Amino acid sequence: MKYPTRHYSLLLATKLALACLGGATLTSVAYASPSAEQAYQLPAGSLSAQLKQFSQQSGIKLNIDESLVKGWTRPALNGRYSGQQGLNAILADTGLQAVANGNGYQLIANTAYLAPITVTGEKINRSMQETTTAITVLNGTDLDKGHVTSIYEVGNRAPNVNINGAGGVNIRGVEGTGPATGVFSFISGARPRVSTSVDGAPETWSGQQYVDFGMWDVEQVEILRGPQSTTQGRNTIGGAVVVNTKNPTSSWEGAVRAGYENEAGRTLGAAMISGPIVQDELAFRLAAEGIKGKGFVEYPGVWPWDPSDFKRQNIRAKLLWTPSNMPDFSAKLTVSQRDQEGEFLNRINSANHSDRTYSKLNSRVNTRTQDSSKTTANVDLEYKISDSLNSHMLYSRGKYRASFKETGADRFQLQMDENSNTLESRLVYDPQGGSVTALAGLYYYDRHQDLNASPYNSGFFGTDKVDTLAFFGESTIALNSSFDLNIGGRIERESQKRNVLGWPGTPNEALIKTDITETMFLPKVGVIYKATPETSFGLTYREGYTPGAGSINYDDNKFYEYGKEEVSTIELSSRSSFLDKRLTLNTNLFYNRYKDYQALLNNYFTNIPKAESYGVEVSADASVNSSLKLFASLGLLSTKITESNLRSTSVDGNRFGYAAPVSASFGFKQQFDLGFFINGDISHTGEYYSDLNNSETLKAGDYTLANLQIGYDKGNYAVRAYVKNLFNSDVIYRKGSRNNEADAGAPRTVGVTVDYRF
């Protein structure tokens, strides 16, 4: 099915943004004399909220750039101050100062402080320095530059993370896709090991990443490494990717973007508009982006369609209600529609992988075109019960359709339709300066899939239903001024019923009838030692798991089930800040012990009795001065199968697939006078095996990627030119055992974007 009107939605959004030019982006109130002294009693809280309260009480006009104050929290302010004294007290140690500007004050950054980072992926907001989990956080300033078009492209910034050819990321040698991709995942219902959530709603996994998510109007991306089952829940034995998009604003703002890439003439377009519907009560945000063009793989010969054609469109709308008669309550509605058509595999089979071609080798070839979509509606409710206690509830309804057809004489076509519901309710106790913080939550998830694949060997058809119910909690308790105790856990019950009939009416006919229910307790415990106000150390223990499933034995066409896999993780962490908050250094050392590790060997799912991995991760951020920022990371990893069974004796002592022994990255952001800038980064992923058999012919990885952006940003408008894969490296994410197939990354790509913001 085609959707000829899709591209008009982006055009409509652009016109809407242009029609709303104008409006302010700064907060301000009436002016009063800054020398007048008065008494203040401002509660502890966010810097933004405290400045606004100070402005209202003092009558001093403040122009506040929210990007400067985001993430900062301040202690209570009590006492008598003049206006200037009060501002100085509030802004102490933030690297900000209030400069007289006309009849008021303008906030500016006066030092090279690194802005604080707030982590949301653990369900309770913490600063990066307060976490023990290994996390890489990228904010919208890092991402929304036009050259990043997928949330998974940023994986190279994180240590011990590499991109998976089927979509998603691999973390610490654990395949994010789970033990299988493609048809094996479709038939068995195998789960991913790394979850992705967008605004709290889980992304669907069905053996391949069919509908990607772009970086336009994204607030923050967090990559959490290691099992995250306590708070993130299902499908997180390897880690989690958490995406938060930008919320509606109480003042008008908007942006439009146009872009072009030389790779087969790919064009990019995006627009955003946000502002009040009812001042200080109801606000909206509408964002849209689209990409259209061709992929980088060449397809010699005659095809029934152009296999390289590609089109993607994402549209997102938000409403934020903050009723004036209920100041402690807020409600947010988010609706998104994502569509993707055309090429999606990026698969090549040329003898020389530098050619990046895919050729017909017989009457049936594995080249596909898709027409897939995802619709999501979220309702977020938040109620501030007291200054210390908040209630959150999220309900998400998702509708997903993955559909593709294959070229060849006996064309294979597949369609999967999925409906899902997610409900999470949690209480967060987080008193400012308190000795105890805690959260407790309930989680429910259900999913129903209809599968229809034909006609290759008569295809397979069926349904799948998953129900999950969980209770989780976590608390951090200050034992004294130096030691904190962290304790938590999750009780989760999940059931799966899968009925799939494969290849009906043929000698290979087989029935998959899975009925598995599992109840797990997943503990987490740790201790944090605060050596100094700038340095802390943590030691944690936590567990994770992936449910089992069922499949077909291709030798005799009989149904079988395989069990769950479990992991126990011990992790030592350190968080340090140096040079007056201009340098941060974060490290994590980890050891993972796996039990019944799931693997696909010779087309058969099995549980490997024991396996292990260990490694170290280091990441650093530095602010050399107010115009030059640096970042770097290093990951070292060792993996091993330590005990095998009868079906896995061939892999005893082997490394995990996709387990790069080393990964590293380095980058910089340089701002010049008059608005010019240059940014660059380089990353290296070591060589790894594409399979658990450690076949020498299936080695992949061992690539270095460099990216460069230069441009001019004058606030309201910006022009950027960029080069991705600057050295035109051959990037191979996976090699297959058939017909020299491989999943490849893009060659050198040059592009340009033009932005207008208001």
Domains of the chain: 37-109 (3.55.50.30), 126-354+368-757 (2.40.170.20)
CA distances from 585 to 95, 575, 637 (A): 19, 6, 19
Q: Which two tokens stand for residue 412?
A: 């294979």
Residue 725: per-residue pLDDT: 94
Residue 409: per-residue pLDDT: 56
Residues in the chain with pLDDT < 50?
1-34
Tell me the residue ranges of DSSP E strands in 279-388.
282-294, 309-321, 329-342, 347-348, 364-384
Identity at 238, one-letter amino acid code: G
Task: Assign residue 725 a region (left: φ > 0; alpha: ψ between -120 and 50; beta: otherwise).
Answer: left
Q: Which two tokens stand for residue 565?
A: 């896999």
Q: Is the peptide bond between 276 and the residue preceding it cis, with omega within 30 degrees of 0?
A: no
**Strand, coil or helix: what is 130?**
helix
Residue 251: per-residue pLDDT: 86
Identity at 730, one-letter amino acid code: D
Residue 457: per-residue pLDDT: 61
- What single DSSP character describes residue 15? H
Residue 319: per-residue pLDDT: 97
Residue 206: per-residue pLDDT: 67
| Contact criterion met (CB below 8 Å) for 683 and 157 | yes
Please tell me the distance from the alpha carbon of residue 199 to that of residue 430, in angstroms, as a whole number: 22
CA atoms within 13 A on the CB side of 149: 23
Nearest one of 394, 105, 85 to 244, comparing CA atoms: 394
Token look-up 């980064």 returns: 681
Residue 447: per-residue pLDDT: 94
CA distances from 246 to 144, 155, 335, 361 (A): 12, 21, 13, 47
- Determine the distance from the C-alpha atom of residue 623 to the mean position of all C-alpha atoms in its chain, rounded to a whole number: 25
| Contact criterion met (CB below 8 Å) for 327 and 49 | no
| Contact criterion met (CB below 8 Å) for 701 and 162 | yes
Token look-up 């693997």 returns: 599
β-pair type (104-109, 62-63): parallel
